[in-house]
Amino acid sequence: MDRAPEDLALAPAESLREAQRPVEAGLPFQAHEVLEGTWKATEGAQRPLWQGLAQLAVGLTYLQRGNATGAQSLLRRGAERIEPFAADPPPRLDVAGLARQAVELADQVEHTRPPARARLTFLRDGDRPAGPR
């Protein structure tokens, strides 16, 4: 999967779809690039949500690279940043479920061996892509 262009700024629904694909393919850094583009292009109240989503992807990247401490930190920080949006989440985004997954993964990394291939599900079940393009 190719790197996302630096100036990539997708609409929120498209950004979530395009970020889920590389996560499913085991390429969380590419997901981070997609989410970071949306975060940097977003203004107002939604900006912390997109920052938190990008942090979750970085947490997965750290985990994949063997940085358990960094992974725990970013997974927890990202979960804390997105949790306030659980009451009124954007369409397709399972904020509460995603925050719970991130904290559970951080706990798993802290207390046991990290999973060989960790992933998070950004989209609700019916909205997830079938697989990488």
Q: pLDDT tens-digit profile of 78-90?
A: 999 999 999 988 8
Instruction: Write the burial class of residue 13 (CB in 10 Å: 0-12 exposed, 13-18 middle, 19+ buried).
Output: middle
Place 8 in a pLDDT band, splitting at 50, 70 and 90. Answer: low
Q: Is residue 122 part of a domain?
A: no
What are the phi and psi torsion angles at 91 (to 5°)?
-55, 145
Q: Is residue 46 part of a domain?
A: yes
Structural domain range at position 52: 14-115
Give yes or no for a contact between 26 and 1, defined as CB atoms under 8 angstroms apart.
no
Does the structure show a pLDDT above 80 at 117? no
Domain count, the chain: 1
Q: Is residue 123 part of a domain?
A: no
Please report, for the domain that includes residue 24, its CATH number: 1.10.3450
Both structure tokens of 27:
């390429």
Interval 117-133 mean pLDDT: 60
Contacts of 28 (CB under 8 A, 6+ apart): 22, 57, 58, 60, 61, 64, 119
Query: What is the three-class DSSP state of 10?
Result: coil
